[in-house]
């Protein structure tokens, strides 16, 4: 979502004649978009500002604006702690970024803009053309969260659930497709809670599927509890909806799920997966896990490992519990650091084994790959298959924006390598 927000911030700043530069030294304004989900992300902000300071030692100071959830959470504290920062702008106030920059330029004021103005934000963004021209483009459809998992800052930094107008989303999607997008990734902290005037995520997917040149639709991140029957049904209908579902579970222990306030059990989660697979047997799953949540016992952790075996996730994102200020879990006693690290290592080793076993099943088979960009190496192109696996092939033809059948020949933990399936192509033409 930060990537989507950063692109939109650029679209707004363009209107006051700012342009992007890749060269750090050239910039006269830095906008640092931030994440507050885990501790390290906050540290990164200070690190980034340190880097800017170094570049501008003995030179005119550039304007420095911190945007996003760290700005929201820390507000004035950030301005007090780091005098180099000219303004903090929360994730629901960034539509005012041009005003903020102009005020800093003209009035040399330091500003705090961290109001929750999500309706106003999207009203204003709806009038500004989304200039993103990536083959795979993000589209924020929903923001905020009402779930209040005990560990999570999102309800405090992004605010309450808000869903954007279906008509405006259709327009923005059409615009992205006319810019060259072939795939749209619908975004929301709780994306399957999307609801605008009785239109749910399933209705939005059906509507967007009508856009002719749009070939693929994905969405992230969904909560198991909001996986309604209509959304399950659509897997039996839509050919554009990709067969990988990111379905965070966080833990395989009912005891821990309850402590986290996740609002479901392991049984409920596995039932949901069963129902989805009945609708579409080719479905695969990825997930997020928090390891060493306060009071997690060895047994709880073993239950998490068992769940991994059952679901056979093709991808997992695992994090050690990070105490976030202001959340209920921050007050709880943390697990011993050594034990926590050992568990994370064991988890990641197992996740890697499951992933590699899956990836081996892809070798010498065909995958349908949408090519997104070219690589530094001559004639190499990067794309993703239907399950979001990264694939690289060589080709004399420019493949960007095309979907091709690829024979996967080898791969490692991050990337699959393949060859364009000319034989297969000939068969199609002969048919
Ligand atoms: N809404 C999604 C859900 O319900 O699972 C998750 C969105 S959250 C922005 C992304 C991931 O960050 C979570 O799934 C969780 O694994 C991780 N996360 C959030 N808070 C965390 C914390 N305090 N410590 C460690 N990981 C955390
Ligand atoms: Fe955070 Fe997701 Fe829980 Fe909402 S559902 S509080 S975003 S982890």
120-360 matches 366-430 in fold? no
Contacts of residue 362, defined as CB under 8 A and 6 or more positions apart, other chains included, come to 389, 408, 411, 416
- Please tell me if the CB atom of residue 348 comes closer than 6 angstroms to any atom of ligand 1: no
How far is 397 from 371, CA to CA, in rounded Å?
A: 12
Fold of the domain spanning 366-430: OB fold (Dihydrolipoamide Acetyltransferase, E2P) (2.40.50)
Tens of pLDDT, residues 146-200: 999 999 999 999 999 999 999 999 999 999 999 999 999 999 999 999 999 999 9
* Mutation test residue for ligand 1: of 39, 140, 152, the one with most atoms within 8 Å of CB: 152
For atom 5 of ligand 2, the residue with the nearest CA is 147
By residue count, the chain amounts to 431
Domain segments of the chain as ranges? 2-117, 120-360, 366-430
Q: Is 299 left (phi over 0), alpha (psi -120 to 50) or beta?
A: alpha
What is the model's pLDDT at position 422? 66
| DSSP calls for 43-112 | HHHHHHHHHHHHHTTTSPPPEEEEEEHHHHHHTHHHHHH-TT--EEE-TTSGGGHHHHHHHHHHH---EE
pLDDT in tens, 55-86: 998 899 999 999 999 999 999 999 999 999 99
Does any ligand 1 atom lie closer than 6 A to the CB of residue 37?
Answer: yes
Indicate the top mutation candidate among 154, 224, 321 to test ligand 2's pocket, ranked by most ligand atoms within 8 A of CB: 154
Give burial (CB, 10 Å; 0-12/13-18/19+) of 139.
Answer: buried
Q: How far is the CA of 286 from the centre of ligand 1 (A)?
A: 14
CA-324 nearest atom, ligand 1: 23
Strand order in the sheet with 244-246: 244-246, 284-291, 315-320
How far apart CA 190 and CA 328 sit, in angstroms, is 20
Under CATH, to which class is 120-360 assigned? Answer: alpha beta
On whether the CB atoms of residues 421 and 407 are closer than 8 A, the answer is: yes
What's residue 430's pLDDT? 44
H/E element holding 318? strand 315-320
Calpha distance 216→394 (Å, rounded): 23
Helix then strand then coil, % of the chain, to nearest 5:
40, 20, 35
31 exposure class (CB count in 10 Å sphere: 0-12, 13-18, 19+): buried
Interval 348-407: pLDDT, tens: 999 999 999 999 999 999 999 999 999 988 899 999 999 999 999 999 999 999 999 999
Distance 246 CA to ligand 2 centre (A): 14
Q: Which CATH architecture describes the domain 2-117? A: 3-Layer(aba) Sandwich (3.40)
- Residue 375, pLDDT score: 93
Pocket mutation for ligand 1, best pick of 250, 319, 324 (most atoms within 8 Å of C-beta): 319
The mean predicted confidence, pLDDT, of the chain is 94
């Amino acid at each position: 979502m930060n990537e989507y927000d950063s692109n939109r911030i650029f679209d707004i700043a363009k209107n006051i004649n700012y342009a992007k530069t890749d060269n750090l030294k050239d910039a006269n304004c830095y906008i640092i978009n931030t994440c507050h989900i885990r501790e390290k992300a906050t540290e990164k902000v200070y690190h980034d500002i340190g880097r800017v300071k170094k570049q501008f030692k003995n030179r005119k100071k550039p304007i420095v604006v911190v945007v996003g959830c760290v700005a929201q959470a820390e507000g004035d504290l950030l301005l007090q702690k780091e005098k180099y920062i000219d303004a903090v702008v929360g994730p629901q106030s960034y539509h005012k970024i041009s005003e903020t920059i102009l005020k800093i330029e003209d009035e040399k004021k330091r500003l705090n803009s961290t109001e929750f103005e999500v309706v106003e934000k999207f009203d204003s963004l709806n009038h500004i053309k989304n200039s993103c021209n990536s083959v795979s483009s993000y589209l924020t459809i929903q923001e905020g969260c009402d779930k209040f998992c005990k560990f999570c800052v999102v309800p405090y930094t992004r605010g309450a659930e808000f869903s954007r107008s279906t008509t405006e989303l259709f327009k923005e999607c059409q615009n992205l497709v006319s810019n060259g997008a072939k795939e749209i990734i619908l975004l929301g902290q709780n994306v399957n809670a999307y609801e605008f005037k009785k239109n749910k995520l399933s209705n939005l997917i059906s509507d967007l599927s009508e856009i002719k040149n749009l070939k693929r639709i994905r969405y992230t991140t969904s909560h198991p509890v909001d996986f309604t029957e209509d959304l399950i049904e659509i897997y039996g209908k839509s050919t554009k909806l990709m067969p990988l579902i990111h379905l965070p579970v966080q833990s395989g222990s009912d005891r821990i799920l309850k402590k986290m306030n996740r609002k479901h059990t392991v049984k409920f989660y596995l039932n949901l997966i069963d129902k989805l697979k009945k609708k579409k047997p080719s479905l695969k799953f990825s997930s997020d896990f928090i390891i060493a949540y306060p009071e997690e016992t060895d047994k709880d952790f073993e239950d998490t490992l068992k769940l991994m075996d059952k679901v056979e996730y093709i991808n997992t994102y695992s994090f050690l519990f990070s105490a976030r200020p202001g959340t209920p879990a921050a007050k709880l006693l943390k697990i011993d650091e050594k034990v926590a690290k050992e568990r994370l290592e064991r988890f990641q080793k197992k996740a890697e084994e499951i992933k590699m076993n899956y990836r081996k099943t892809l070798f010498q088979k065909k995958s349908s790959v949408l090519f997104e960009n070219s690589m530094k190496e001559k004639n190499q192109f990067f794309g993703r298959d239907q399950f979001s696996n990264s694939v690289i092939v060589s080709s004399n033809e420019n493949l960007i924006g095309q979907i091709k059948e690829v024979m996967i020949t080898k791969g490692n933990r991050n990337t699959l390598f393949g060859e364009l399936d000319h034989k297969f192509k000939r068969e199609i033409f002969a048919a």
